[in-house]
Amino acid sequence: MKSLAIIGSQWGDEGKGKITDLLGLKCDVVVRYQGGNNAGHTIIVGEKKVVLHLIPSGILHDHCVSVIGHGVVLDPEAFSKEIENVKNSGLTVTPEKLKISSNTSVITFYNRLLDGQREAKGPVKIGTTGKGIGPAYEDKISRKGIKVKDLFDKEVLTEKLKANLLEKETLFTKLYECEYPSVEEEVERLMSLAKELEPFVCDTFSFLDEAKRAGKKILFEGAQGVLLDIDFGSYPFVTSSSTAYAGIYSGAGLPGGTVEEVLGITKAYTTRVGEGPFPTELFDQMGEDIQTKGGEFGATTGRKRRCGWLDLPLLKYSVKCSNLTSIALTKLDVLSEMGPLQVCTGYEYEGRTIDCAYPGIDLSKVKPILKEVAGFNDDFKGELSKEVKDYIALIEEAIEIPVGIIAFGPERSEIKFLKEYF
């Protein structure tokens, strides 16, 4: 196998970071292809905790090259802080180890300000992180965005920012009544931050083309999850990028090739951060217990995650729309010693029973069909119990692909491979 993608199969926060970290040991290149610093991967290495938001998990391995593709939106200020934190963790970051596409879109101060004002004063609360991700993608799609390469030409940057601010200025002054920096101030801020970016900027498309031709092992690291995809997710409560399989090709490119293995990272239960429908959400003590035991707080915002039972109709949908070939089942330890469990096996929706979601389904109107299954009391140090094996078999039968990895804790040693990758 020469290429593998790691994709969140739920609403994000599935534990992609530690899986990427382990598989990064076996590959040559790790590529981030969408999202921005609204994502957060927490990786535990011994007694060291490393939280990554923009930089791919490959940075933890000296033999690995990390690539930030052009489908990412990059906040230069957040990048500067993350580089500092990574170096303070004892890791080496050089232009040989980290590469940023010159065509990556930039998150400006105006994007962050607009995002925050909309969440605070707008009529609809999406539950964004307020990092400016959505507005930056809006600028990109409307063809007035700032690219990383623009940060090194003052004249170009000034003209583009003037055009970029033209409509936003009306929103800031008339609708939200907030203060904002002048174009000159924003140019100065961005160009100052660009000095730290510049050594890492290059043509990553050609770099990946050459890596593929040379037979390098490439891992594509997704952020968020399929159910937050701008097209496939629970719209409008989604992120602004293509988090599913298709985002790899639009956000990084794999010239002349395909991804051989698509690994969906899946919690043994379901969580969601922010607003939006959640069919299996638990509002009782069980939900509180899962939240507490699982440490369900966002790595980026610290927000409490809503918790619920495993939702197979949504997982089956993610498998189909993102071409998943196997899954990694994480946080099994959280469900241990919880007593009898339940799993959603289908929905009652619009007078019929369905076992797979689809684009545009109104999840606020579905009635989950829950099946009780035996709980388990495993410590995962030896052979898996019959109850855990039955839980895994139930999932595999529903989604028709294998569970290739199980994870039962945050440490590298608390991951078991049931299938070989790379």
Tell me the CA distances in angstroms from 158 to 107, 186, 302, one per residue in order.
15, 9, 36
Please report, rounded to a whole number, the percentage of residues in the chain having pLDDT higher than 90: 81
Length of the chain: 422
Describe the strand order of the beta sheet including 403-407 as a list of residue ranges.
Answer: 201-202, 98-101, 65-68, 29-32, 218-221, 3-8, 261-267, 326-330, 403-407, 415-417
For CA atoms 276, 281, 286, 291, the dihedral sign is: negative
How high is the pLDDT of residue 411? 81
- Give the number of C-alpha atoms closer than 13 A to the C-alpha of residue 11, restricted to the C-beta side: 26
Which residues line the annotated binding site? 12-18, 38-42, 129, 143, 224, 239, 299-305, 331-333, 407-409
CATH superfamily of 3-100+209-261: Adenylosuccinate Synthetase, subunit A, domain 1 (3.40.440.10)
d(CA 245, CA 232): 11
Model pLDDT for residues 389-401, shown as the tens digit of each residue: 999 999 999 999 9
Annotated binding site for Mg(2+): 13, 40
Q: What pLDDT does 413 receive?
A: 84
Who's near 357: CB < 8 A, 6+ residues apart? 313, 314, 316, 317, 347, 363
Annotated binding site for substrate: 299-305
Give the distance, in angstroms, between the CA of residue 376 and the centroid of all CA atoms in the same chain. Answer: 30
- Point out the residues that are catalytic: 13, 41, 140
Q: pTM of the full predicted structure?
A: 0.92
For 232, the token pair is 């496939």
Q: Is residue 199 reached through a cis peptide bond, with omega within 30 degrees of 0 on the bond before it?
A: no
Q: Fold for domain 105-196?
A: Adenylosuccinate Synthetase, subunit A; domain 2 (1.10.300)
Residue 118: phi and psi, rounded to 5, are -65, -45
| Residues of each annotated binding site for IMP | 13-16, 38-41, 129, 143, 224, 239, 303
Residue 288 DSSP SS3: helix
Tokens of 246: 């298709």
Q: Are 74 and 245 in contact (CB under 8 A)?
A: no
H runs (alpha helix) in 275-385:
285-293, 312-321, 332-335
pLDDT in tens, 66-108: 999 999 999 999 999 999 988 888 888 999 999 999 999 999 9
Three-state SS for 354? strand
**Spatial distance between the Cα atoms of 21 and 95, rounded to a whole number of angstroms:** 20
Report the amino acid identity of residue 69: G
Domain boundaries in the chain?
A: 3-100+209-261, 105-196, 266-417
Residue 350 amino acid letter: E
Q: Among the CATH numbers 3.90.170.10, 3.40.190.10, 3.40.1350.10, 1.10.10.10, which is that of 266-417? A: 3.90.170.10
Measured CA to CA in angstroms, residue 363 lies from 55, 64, 308 at distances of 33, 41, 14
- The ranges of the chain with pLDDT < 70 are 44-47, 123, 125-126, 299-301
Decide: 76 and 194 in contact? Cβ < 8 Å.
yes
Q: Which of 49, 29, 51, 50 lies closest to 40 in space, CA to CA?
A: 51
Binding-site residue positions for GTP: 12-18, 40-42, 305, 331-333, 407-409
Residue 245's nearest CA partner among 319, 322, 317 is 322
- Choose among 80, 192, 191: nearest CA to 146: 191
Compute the C-alpha angle 205/75/9, nearest 5°: 70
Strand partners, 281: 308
Would you state the structure tokens that stand for residue 192, as one six-digit string? Answer: 């100052």
